[in-house]
């Protein structure tokens, strides 16, 4: 089987030449070699210990508004040329022949990992899982179930195109998850904590693993005392880090250029307008070293960048991949991403966050007579055309007389993205990030979300309390 090392400059130039000769205005080759491994401990038993490898190439050819795409696991020149011919067939204009494509100097980027996942023995990984299990169970007698998982991926890729782009990257990501179940008079309650980064196993110290395990267990134990959440419009304080996912879903997707150019976003045509509270500055930044959405280059070979989307409440720009930028006569913002070589790139977020403010989190809570404090948001749904959203709150508390009091049972946060942006009236200085996975059009990519503790003047709580 051919390897990534066999895919040379001359090799790629030949494949691109064939693709362009068959009618393409633009051609791209993306070659990927990815290895993964994972282990899971469930109720003190090793339920999963797996590893895998996937490598291949995706080739797209663009003519006018039409894109042809083909992928293959055959990394020989013959295999890639066959894929290039298949991709170009949608734009075939006859004539044949060869078009000469000259690639620029190759830009190479290396992994940030200092402890490569493949250098960590399986026995060490199992020991990490057992350590987390022990710590979680020792947190409280009501902890009845513990599930711990560790996973890593090592992704090498080379991307080259007919405009001369020629770049390669090596991305290593490591993740550790602890999930606990506590059993009490109110039934079963769950707690969850992740550790994740675009790094190697150096991020998984015994101290961080123990902290995650205690956090997941304590969250489950605390929820045993939970009461039904109120219903209606209430002030909401989002804890640092947790609220980033709300803005990712409710606002971020609507700022991706494909939605904008299709007029499928509430933010279309609003650059220069006040769309949020002046306290809101929203950024998408793939250059945040080590975060879950970190990229040296995107999956189209463009350098990652820091893109300010909303500044002091004013919409300043959108996120762009190559094709959407090409339609608008501008440059990509480094937001072209794909799940694997088997997928077409599209405009996607990286690390999306709101800049911190100057207040303290304690002051914001103390200045809130009554409301809901959200310590952790769960999954959600959003309509990018309208901005309407529904999010689950997996860890929330009442705020009464300026103090965090009773834990609340899981309930929903219901609102509208553009409306919520305008309701931010206080932002603290305790910024933090949270790792996540973003789904769009059937593709999953790692992303980071973040914000400091902030208050929304009113959001609908879908609770059950009278």
pLDDT of the chain along its 466 residues, tens only? 567 878 899 999 999 999 998 778 999 999 999 999 999 999 999 988 899 999 999 999 998 888 889 999 999 999 999 999 988 886 564 344 445 567 778 889 999 999 999 999 999 999 999 999 999 999 999 999 999 999 999 999 999 999 999 999 999 999 999 999 999 988 899 999 999 999 999 999 999 999 999 999 999 999 999 999 999 999 999 999 988 999 998 899 999 999 999 999 999 999 999 999 999 999 999 999 999 999 999 999 999 999 999 999 999 999 999 999 999 999 999 999 999 999 999 999 999 999 999 999 999 999 999 999 999 998 888 887 888 999 999 999 999 999 999 999 988 999 999 999 999 999 999 999 999 999 999 999 999 999 999 999 999 998 776 5
**Chain centre distance of CA 350:** 6
Q: Are residues 341 and 438 in the same domain?
A: yes
Q: What is the pTM of this model?
A: 0.94
Residue 75 lies in a domain: yes
Question: 98: buried, middle or exposed (CB in 10 Å: 19+, 13-18, 0-12)?
Answer: exposed
Residue 73 lies in a domain: yes
Q: Are residues 350 and 458 in the same domain?
A: yes
Residue 45 lies in a domain: no
Place of tokens 């609770």: 463
Q: Are residues 329 and 276 in the same domain?
A: yes
- Note down the domain range covering 98: 4-34+52-105
Q: Are residues 156 and 261 in the same domain?
A: no
Q: Which of 302, 338, 301, 444 is nearest to 56 (CA)?
A: 338
- As given in the structure block, the two tokens for residue 273 are 């307008």
Q: Dihedral sign, CA of 209, 212, 216, 222?
A: positive
Residue 405 lies in a domain: yes
Q: Are residues 139 and 78 in the same domain?
A: no
Q: Are residues 174 and 193 in the same domain?
A: yes
Q: Are residues 239 and 218 in the same domain?
A: no
Place of tokens 């980064």: 197
- What domain count does the chain have? 3
Residue 112 lies in a domain: no
Q: Are residues 394 and 303 in the same domain?
A: yes
Q: Are residues 311 and 417 in the same domain?
A: yes
Q: Are residues 306 and 326 in the same domain?
A: yes
CATH code (residue 56): 3.30.2290.10
Q: Are residues 98 and 184 in the same domain?
A: no
| Domain end residue (candidates: 195, 223, 251) | 223
DSSP 117: G
Contact between residue 281 and residue 270 where contact means Cβ atoms under 8 Å apart: no
Q: Are residues 347 and 440 in the same domain?
A: yes
DSSP 7: -
């Amino acid at each position: 089987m051919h390897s990534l090392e066999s895919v040379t400059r001359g090799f790629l130039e030949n494949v691109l030449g064939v693709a362009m000769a068959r009618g393409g205005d633009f051609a791209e080759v993306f070659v990927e070699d990815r290895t993964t491994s994972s282990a899971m401990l469930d109720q003190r038993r090793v339920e999963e210990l797996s590893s895998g490898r996937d490598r291949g190439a995706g080739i797209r050819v663009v003519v006018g508004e039409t894109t042809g795409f083909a992928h293959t696991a055959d990394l020989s020149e013959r295999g890639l040329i066959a894929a290039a011919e298949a991709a170009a067939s949608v734009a075939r204009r006859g004539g044949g022949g060869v078009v000469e494509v000259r690639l620029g100097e190759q830009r190479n980027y290396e992994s940030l990992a200092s402890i490569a996942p493949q250098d960590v023995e399986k026995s060490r990984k199992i020991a990490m899982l057992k350590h987390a299990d022990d710590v979680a169970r020792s947190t409280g007698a009501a902890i009845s179930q513990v599930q711990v998982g560790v996973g890593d991926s090592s992704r090498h890729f080379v991307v080259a195109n007919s405009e001369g782009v020629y770049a390669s990257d090596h991305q290593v990501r490591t993740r550790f998850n602890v999930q606990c179940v506590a059993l009490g008079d109110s039934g079963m309650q769950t707690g969850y904590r992740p550790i994740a980064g675009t790094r190697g196993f150096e991020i998984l110290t015994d101290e961080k693993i123990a902290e995650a395990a205690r956090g997941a267990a304590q969250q489950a134990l605390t929820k045993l005392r939970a009461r039904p959440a109120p219903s209606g419009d209430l002030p909401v304080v989002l804890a640092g880090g947790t609220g980033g996912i709300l803005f990712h879903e409710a606002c971020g997707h609507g700022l991706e250029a494909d939605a904008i150019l299709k007029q499928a976003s509430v933010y279309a045509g609003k650059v220069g307008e006040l769309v949020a509270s002046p306290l809101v500055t929203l950024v998408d930044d793939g250059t945040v070293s080590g975060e879950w959405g970190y990229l040296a280059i995107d999956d189209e070979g463009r350098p990652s960048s820091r893109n300010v989307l909303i500044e002091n409440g004013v919409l300043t720009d959108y996120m762009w991949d190559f094709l959407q930028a090409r339609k608008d006569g501008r440059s990509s913002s480094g937001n072209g991403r794909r799940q694997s070589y088997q997928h077409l790139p599209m405009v996607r977020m990286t690390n999306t966050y709101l800049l911190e403010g100057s207040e303290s989190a304690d002051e914001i809570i103390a200045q809130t007579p009554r409301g809901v404090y959200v310590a952790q948001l769960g999954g959600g749904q959003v309509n990018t055309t309208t901005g309407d959203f529904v999010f689950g709150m997996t860890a929330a508390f009442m705020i009464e007389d300026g103090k965090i009091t009773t834990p609340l049972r899981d309930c929903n946060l219901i609102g509208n993205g553009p409306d919520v942006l305008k309701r931010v009236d206080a932002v603290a200085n305790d910024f933090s990030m949270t790792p996540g996975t973003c789904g769009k059009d059937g593709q999953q990519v790692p992303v980071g979300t973040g914000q400091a503790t902030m208050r929304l003047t009113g959001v609908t709580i879908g609770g059950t309390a009278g």
